[in-house]
DNA sequence: CTAGGATTTAGAGCGTGCTCGAAGTCAACC
DNA sequence: GGTTGACTTCGAGCACGCTCTAAATCCTAG
């Protein structure tokens, strides 16, 4: 599971110094772990070419955080790493492939709305069960008044 | 990924013969693979104690399918196997633990609604991107009329 | 009775997405 | 100039949920 670093940092965020942010700070602000930031970079998601110090340490700028945030939001909708990578490639290839970007996003949108519908549908089952148990508890069960044989678990 | 056996069989389903259904038929009707049915059983999800022929083949009854369907719907909302297992244990322990079942379901419901909210929130990002690309394509780009420098990918 | 497809088991394998670890480097403060 | 803690790479490890395999057995149609 994704380390649940407390949410991305709410409230008005202190702006970023000239020198950029350490990976720890960037992790704090994007809501993922430093490990995951490195992983995303290795995986080819981070097209903003994060700066480095002389010594090789990453320094994150606002644009890096912005892009990474896009990535995490796409992830949060269930877009696979590979697809985000593909999208990142399209974006970094510059203008001219909007048709492809659009197709990718529309396809993903369809996936997401289908998934949403499915979850909402099955949420009903959960709500019915909750209703059943609340009822039983309220009634002290009363020896299962209604639904004597039905599979009302 | 779950084998996407075409959806659970729509329309009015032929009723189940005395002898029960083969695992292949049960798979067809529940929308998961036979492999997955066996896996669910091994994992302790299937509390209905599926019948066997003399020779040891499984024979599924309506109540088996009903329970398995509950399991698949819980899975579809993202409930982990372990949690379904726990729930199955509660159900199969019989009346008297409704409090626990309720707590389990309510906790899961909270997870699900939180997840739904998150996805819906992030769907907005997708929709904005779609809007941007549609706009660019409609305008023939027009050299990125608006948002000349913003990170409107 | 026989052939051949379906089913059985237990265990191994796999794809995904992180998550961790080791060994070495860097940098900030005293 | 040290010490100390953050950071580097990159490969290994892990949790999850299937998915597949092999070898044996079953069962049904012919």
Last residue within a domain, chosen from B49, B68, B94: B94
- One domain for residues A59 and A106: no
- One domain for residues B149 and B85: no
| B153 contacts on A by Cβ (under 8 Å) | 67, 70, 91, 101
pLDDT of residue B118: 98
Where in B5-144 does DSSP place strands (E)?
51-52, 58-59
pLDDT of residue B150: 58
* Whether B68 contacts B30, CB under 8 Å: yes
User: What is the ipTM metric for this complex?
Assistant: 0.90
pLDDT over threshold 80, residue A92: yes
CA of residue B28 relative to chain centroid, distance? 15
Domain of residue B108, residue span: 101-153
CATH number for B85: 1.10.1660.10
Q: Does A120 touch chain B (CB under 8 A)?
A: yes
Average pLDDT over residues A79-102: 97
- One domain for residues A70 and A131: no
- One domain for residues A70 and A107: no
Q: How many domains does chain B have?
A: 2
- One domain for residues B1 and B62: yes
- One domain for residues A49 and A102: no
pLDDT tens for residues A119-153?
999 999 999 999 999 999 998 766 555 554 557 87
Q: Does B129 touch chain A (CB under 8 A)?
A: yes
Which of B80, B133, B142 is the best mutation test for A, with the most CBs of A within 10 A?
Answer: B133
pLDDT of residue B4: 62
Chain B's closest residue to A144, CA to CA, is B95
pLDDT over threshold 90, residue B103: yes
* Whether B100 contacts A125, CB under 8 Å: no
pLDDT of residue B148: 46
- One domain for residues A26 and A74: yes
CA A80/CA A74 separation, integer angstroms: 8
- One domain for residues B122 and B78: no
What does the mean pLDDT of chain A come to? Answer: 91
CA B60/CA B26 separation, integer angstroms: 6
Last residue within a domain, chosen from A94, A112, A131: A94
pLDDT tens for residues A2-23?
666 666 665 566 788 989 999 9
pLDDT over threshold 90, residue B1: no
- One domain for residues A107 and A89: no
**Lowest-confidence region among A34-43, A97-106, B5-14, B132-141:** B5-14
Q: How confident is the model at residue B146 (pLDDT cuts 50, 70, 90)?
A: low
A20 contacts: CB under 8 Å, gap ≥ 6: A51, A59, A60, A61
- One domain for residues B108 and B149: yes
Last residue within a domain, chosen from B66, B94, B122: B94
To which H or E segment does residue A52 belong?
A: strand A51-52
Q: Are B133 and A66 within 8 A, CB to CB?
A: no
pLDDT of residue A8: 63
pLDDT over threshold 50, residue B97: yes
- One domain for residues B88 and B143: no
- One domain for residues A116 and A143: yes
């Amino acid at each position: 599971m994704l380390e649940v670093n407390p949410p991305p940092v709410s409230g008005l965020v202190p702006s970023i110094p000239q020198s950029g942010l350490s990976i720890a700070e960037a992790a704090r602000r994007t809501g993922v772990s430093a490990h995951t930031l490195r992983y995303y970079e290795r995986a080819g998601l981070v097209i903003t070419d994060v700066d480095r110090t002389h010594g090789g340490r990453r320094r994150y700028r606002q644009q890096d955080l912005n892009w990474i945030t896009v990535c995490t939001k796409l992830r949060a909708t269930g877009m696979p790493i590979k697809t985000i990578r593909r999208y990142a490639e399209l974006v970094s290839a510059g203008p001219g492939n909007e048709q492809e970007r659009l197709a990718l996003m529309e396809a993903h949108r369809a996936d997401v709305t289908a998934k949403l519908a499915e979850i909402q549908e099955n949420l009903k089952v959960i709500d019915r069960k909750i209703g059943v148990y609340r009822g039983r508890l309220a009634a002290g069960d009363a020896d299962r008044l209604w639904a004597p044989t039905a599979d009302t678990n």
